[in-house]
Amino acid sequence: MGSIDKYIFRTTLASFAVVLVSLTGVIWITQALRDIDLMTSQGQTIVTFLGITSLVIPALVLIIAPIALMIAISHTLNKLATDSEIIVMNAAGLSPFRLFVPFVYATCVVAVMVAFIAAYLAPDGMRRIKQWDTDITADVLTNILQPGRFAQLDQNLTVRIRERRPGGLLAGVFIDDRRDPKERVSIVADHGTVLKNESGSFLILEDGNLERLEADKRDPAMVAFGRYAFDMSKFSNHDQAVALGIRERYLWELLYPDEDDPIYKQLPGQFRAELHDRFMSPIYPFVFAALTFAFLGMPRTTRQSRNFSIGGSIFVVFGLRMIGFACSVMAVKSAFAPVVQYLMLLAAIGAGLWLIKAGIVIEPPAGLLEAINKSNARLARLFGRPATA
């Protein structure tokens, strides 16, 4: 690369990094706040909270990176135009297509990063989230059951202990079990201990009362017990297998799925949709770069407004991305939808390159400009009219 190429390449990637970090940070915070219950209701530390929520960042970058690249290219082109550098480069014999080359280099860097994230990093992060969540659930008896707090272990199961004593003794145990719609069971025990064996994990309660209220009866049945075993295997199985979803599969696992995989047998369309979505992820940066440069990369005088070009590029890119999302959804049931999406992306790249090669300046129609100017003049007269006495 020459000095001009290096200058544009560095400026574009620096802007891309700033925009990517900023957008990812904002969206990550909004996502992290949804999991704040890890610290509040499940008794996890700030390190665990940050560790789990940060694993979703690669998946966010996968979506945000092409948009950040578009913003970075727009910023770089606007900077070059404001300083009249594009006009000087064009006057020196540098064609718009030649000026587009350093932006292609920057786009290649972004595309390689997106491809790596789509193939390995994003699904690996989602796997770690699921495994971490499973470990937290498996450690429910030591982490979630905090003294003096009601812990909702399931949708209709609430457990509370008054205090923990030496030797693993749980004092003041209360259990409210409404998982069976036909009856409600409430248990109060003086103390209890955790027993783990080959049959599972059990909460052994001693010296307590059990109240069972059946749905078709008015009065509950009361039972006093000296020893009662409450099954906690569902919440304390450390060896349970982690079922991987489709988004948690690596690219090669989607490309060559196991024929005996029950999820693949049930949802082959979702495997197909996710596979093509991974393939198209590194193509979107090239689409966004070509279209953004086609709208903003042509030399203009300082009197020519760039607002329409900026708005047009945003509208076209946003429209293409929405159509892409729609095709990804339809790809679950239709094998033709990914073909339409590939053709659309290739057509967008081709149209952008043709506009750049031809040096066509995209401007609004003269009639539209005249209507906008008349509307602005009318508003100026309206708000600029002096007040009457």
**In the block, residue with structure tokens 């100026």:** 380
* 3-state class percentages of the chain: helix first, strand second, coil last, to nearest 5: 60, 15, 25
DSSP, collapsed to helix, strand or coil, labels residue 169 as strand
Q: Where are the beta strands (DSSP E) in the chain?
A: 150-154, 157-165, 169-177, 183-197, 200-214, 221-231
Cα distance between the two ends of the chain: 68
Max CA-CA distance within the chain? 95
Q: What is the pLDDT of residue 162?
A: 87
Instruction: Note the pLDDT of residue 389.
Output: 39
Closest CA to 67 of 31, 16, 30, 28: 16
User: What pLDDT is stored for residue 107 in this prediction?
Assistant: 94
84 Cβ neighbours under 8 A, 6+ residues apart: 302
Angle at the Cα of 168 from the Cα atoms of 162 and 172, rounded to 5 degrees? 20
Sheet holding 221-231, edge to edge: 150-154, 157-165, 169-177, 183-197, 200-214, 221-231
In degrees and rounded to multiples of 5, residue 335 shows phi and psi of -75, -10
Task: Enumerate the domain spans of the chain.
Answer: 3-137+244-381, 146-236
Report pTM: 0.70
The pLDDT of residue 241:
56
**pLDDT at residue 384, as a whole number:** 64
Report strand pairing: 157-165 vs 200-214. Answer: unpaired
List C-alpha distances in Å: 214 to 183, 219, 350. 4, 8, 70
Residue type, 185: V
Long-range contacts of 354-360 (CB under 8 A, 24+ apart): 355/294, 356/96, 356/97, 356/100, 356/290, 356/293, 356/294, 356/297, 357/96, 357/97, 359/95, 359/96, 359/298, 360/294, 360/298
**pLDDT < 50 positions in the chain:** 41, 43, 237, 387-389
